[in-house]
Structure 1
Amino acid sequence: MDLSQRRQLPLFSIGIVQKLTGLSARQIRYYEQHELVQPARTEGNQRLFSLNDVENLMLVRSLLDDGLNMAEIRKRFERHQRIGHGNNENEPTDAEVYEWMRQEMLESPSPNNNSLFQGDLFRLYRRNL
């Protein structure tokens, strides 16, 4: 079993996730409703969250703290999922990153907006190095 598969194992109950993220059960269910996390279910219908789910919830909380609304967060998650598919290591191509950055700059011209691309700009110039 590789690391990627281990990160997707459903291990944590909602109570543990509450402690790890600082979110209430109601908030967690709300984010699930908006498809920002997709926890597995036991036969008794209990939610079980993976490490990836916990990280997504922590990212949602951080983005909300930064002032983004749910619609903006959903857009970012959808783009991230769309770009992440299609290659072996879930790493987008340079063209996909360039297009995503272009769209993000057009949609949110605010200088205080935290970009998902911090640290990724080098990818556009690495061919010239």
Structure 2
Amino acid sequence: MKSSELQRNKAVLPMSVVRELTLLSDRQIRYYEEHGLVKPKRGNGGQRRFSLNDIDQLLRIKDHLDAGDSTKDIKELFDKANRLKKIREEDADSSLRRSLQDEFAQIARFNQP
């Protein structure tokens, strides 16, 4: 993972900053959280802490709502996208594993007397 990706996942932004960046109300943000559309981390005192990826997610939610999608539709779309991402990651892992197995087999053949 690149360091820039790591920083995008770091949950440090309080609700007030998120509200200002997204132009969403506290209630809207909490509603999206309640429906599983965004999952901010919690600080020591229980306050929500958002990452830059959370901000992007909230903006995607806002765009979908502006386009007329329901929160149920958005949740289904995000769930499908997450499943597809997981499948692609598993496929990439399988491809890498097969490639390594092929290389080990070639090395083993090369090392045989």
Which TM-score bucket, shorter chain as reference? 0.7 to 0.9
The aligned runs of 1:49-128 (5 Å cut-off) are 49-86=50-87, 87=89
If the length of structure 2 is used for normalisation, what is the TM-score?
A: 0.74
Shift of 1:23: 0.3
> Per-residue displacement from partner, 1:64-98 (whole Å, max 9, x unpaired)?
0000011110111101111111418x9xxxxxxxx
Shift of 1:3: 2.0
> Per-residue displacement from partner, 1:89-108 (whole Å, max 9, x unpaired)?
x9xxxxxxxxxxxxxxxxxx
User: Which structure has more RCO (C-alpha within 8 Å, separation ≥ 6)?
Assistant: 2
Match of 2:38 in 1: 37
> Per-residue displacement from partner, 1:46-79 (whole Å, max 9, x unpaired)?
1000011000000000100000011110111101
Aligned CA-pair RMSD? 1.6
If the length of structure 1 is used for normalisation, what is the TM-score?
A: 0.65
Identical positions, percent: 37
Q: Structure 2 stretches of 5 or more lacking a match?
A: 93-113
Return the index of the structure with the highest Cα Rg.
2
- Whichever residue aligns with residue 62 of structure 1, its letter is D
Alpha-carbon distance in structure 1 between the residues aligned to 2:11 and 2:59 = 17
- Whichever residue aligns with residue 66 of structure 1, its letter is A
